[in-house]
Amino acid sequence: MANTEVNVVRTPCIEVKNIKKRYGSLEAVKDISFSVEQGSIFGMLGPNGAGKSTTIAMLLGLTRRDAGAVSVLGLDPEVDGSQLKSKVSAQLQSPALFGRLSVQELLGLFASFYPEPASVEDTIAMVQLQDKRHSQADSLSGGQKHRLAVGLAIVANSDIVFLDEPTTGLDPQTRRSIWDVMLHLRSQGRTVVLTTHYMDEAEKLCDQLIIVDQGTVVAQGRPRDLISSHFPQDALEFVNPDFSAGEMERLCQIDGVVDHCMAAAGEVVLYSKNASSTLVGLQELAGSCGRQLAEINLRRPTLDDLFLKITGRMMRS
Ligand SMILES: Nc1ncnc2c1ncn2[C@@H]1O[C@H](COP(=O)(O)OP(=O)(O)O)[C@@H](O)[C@H]1O
Ligand SMILES: [Mg+2]
């Protein structure tokens, strides 16, 4: 029956409890806990410096944690690192590649490290490097190197694939192709752990996510649930026509408005439970103050709004 919800019991394949990591006086990871269901896409979302890569490094056993517990496929990466190596693969932010080898040679080499690798041909097609298969890694453009790094992670055909900002700096078309790769991995029952600072990416792809800021988890859940639980309203966005502090206060009195905040670069966002009467009230207020409103945009709240609400900052500032 189409509308019957099927409750699939999924087992966590990653469990992280209260991990911490300090570099000198800097607490890169203050306290992070989460678990990841097998066969899902799990997102770690947060601005630069939030502690995402450090967390991945601790999950892979590349960095020792100062405190807390980590279990990846039932193994502690610090204790059972060699056992874990054949079961997980990763695309890291600054990969060290053997630059003299060609795309095809590198993929073949990485495939040989794993017990049941994917086909090199299929992987080349998935990351769209068909034209570059015989090119040396060193000669690739930034975007192509990036796709090669993603390819090296997926050719492993491992149970868990870690992708650390796989789409940063890529053009929209290439981003979409990397999204397809992640969806393909999930359709095969693999688990993908993804870090990103692109909210749209997290919203579209992730079954579950944590939002990380300054080394701690500030929100977690399914993207849509997170948004609707914090914002049962619409967002009305417009360029601030130099409203005075007093006028800003009057904005909050407009019919339907439940909250307002200043976003980046002189933008105001009003959260409203009755968008049409808020729009009328906003026009009236602007008119009575002699202000001209421009670029009014009505939209559903996003993870960007959530981050702004929780931290008071824009994710990408
Ligand atoms: N090896 C290191 N030594 C010193 N500081 C580090 C090191 N690695 C990361 N950091 C610092 O830890 C913080 C978190 O970094 P990182 O985990 O890379 O964040 P993110 O991946 O979310 O951008 C940053 O302030 C970064 O400068
Ligand atoms: Mg990082």
Distance 196 CA to ligand 2 centre (A): 8
Q: Residue for token digits 């421009």? A: 294
Residue closest via CA to ligand 1's atom 10 equals 28
Coil, helix or strand at residue 17: strand
The domain 12-223 is placed in CATH, from the list 3.30.1540.10, 2.40.160.10, 3.40.50.300, 1.10.10.10, at 3.40.50.300
Cβ-based burial of 76 (10 A; exposed 0-12, middle 13-18, buried ≥19): middle
Residue 263 has pLDDT above 70, yes or no: no
Which one of the ligands is nearest to 45 CA? 1
Distance CA 142, CA 129 (A): 13
Cβ count within 10 A of residue 115: 9
pLDDT bracket for residue 3 (50, 70, 90): very low
Taking CA atoms only, the protein residue closest to ligand 1 atom 18 is 53
Assigned fold of 232-300: Alpha-Beta Plaits (3.30.70)
Task: Identify which of 3-7, 67-71, 259-263 has the greatest average pLDDT.
Answer: 67-71
User: Whole-prediction pTM value?
Assistant: 0.83
Tally of CA atoms within 13 A in the half-sphere of 223 that contains its CB: 21
Q: How confident is the model at residue 5 (pLDDT cuts 50, 70, 90)?
A: very low
Find out whether the beta carbon of 51 lies less than 6 Å from any atom of ligand 1: yes
For residue 170, give Cα distances in angstroms to 140, 167, 179, 236, 238. Answer: 14, 5, 12, 30, 29
Using CA positions, which residue lies closest to atom 2 of ligand 1? 23
Helices (H) and strands (E) counted in the chain, each on its own, are 11, 13
**pLDDT > 90: percent of the chain:** 58
DSSP 173-220: HHHHHHHHHHHHHHHTT-EEEEEES-HHHHHHH-SEEEEEETTEEEEE
Rounded CA separation 286/280 (Å): 10
- Please report, for residues 9, 49, 121, 314, 316, the alpha-carbon distance to residue 307 in angstroms, rounded to integers and kept in the order given: 30, 15, 40, 7, 10
pLDDT averaged over the chain? Answer: 89
Closest CA to 181 of 170, 192, 165: 192
Using the structure block, give the residue that is written with the tokens 């204790």.
79
Sketch the domain layout of the chain as residue ranges: 12-223, 232-300
162, 36 Cβ separation under 8 angstroms: no
Cβ 63 under 6 angstroms from ligand 1: no
Report how far ligand 1's centroid is from the alpha carbon of 179 (Å): 26
Q: What are phi and psi of 144, to 5 degrees?
A: -70, -40
Topology agreement, domain 12-223 and domain 232-300: no
Q: How far is the CA of 218 from the centre of ligand 1 (A)?
A: 18
Closest ligand to C-alpha of residue 44 is 1
DSSP state at residue 313: S
Q: Is the pLDDT of residue 209 over 50?
A: yes
CB 157 within 8 A of CB 112: no
Segment 34-60 shows an average pLDDT of: 96
pLDDT in tens, 210-259: 999 999 999 999 998 998 888 778 889 899 888 888 888 888 899 999 87
CA atoms within 13 A on the CB side of 197: 15
Return the ligand 1 atom nearest residue 55 CA.
Answer: 17
pLDDT at 63: 95
| Residue of minimum CA distance from atom 27 in ligand 1 | 49
Place 7 in a pLDDT band, splitting at 50, 70 and 90. Answer: low
Token reading at 258? 């439940």
Closest ligand by atom to 166 CA: 2
Q: Compute the distance from residue 291 Cα to the ligand 2 centre, in Å.
A: 43
Tokens representing 304 are 């960007």
Mean pLDDT of 122-132: 93
How high is the pLDDT of residue 19? 98
Q: What is the pLDDT at residue 2?
A: 43
Give the count of beta carbons closer than 10 Å to the beta carbon of residue 174.
Answer: 18
pLDDT of residue 306: 87
Ligand nearest to the CA of 46: 1
pLDDT at 223 (0 to 100): 92
If you measure from the C-alpha of residue 151 to the centroid of ligand 1, how many angstroms do you get, rounded to a whole number?
A: 25
Average pLDDT of span 145-157: 93
Is residue 28 in contact with ligand 1, taking CB distance under 6 Å?
yes
- The protein residues having their C-beta less than 5 angstroms from ligand 2 (an ion) are 52-53
- pLDDT value at residue 315: 67
CA-nearest residue for atom 8, ligand 1, is 54
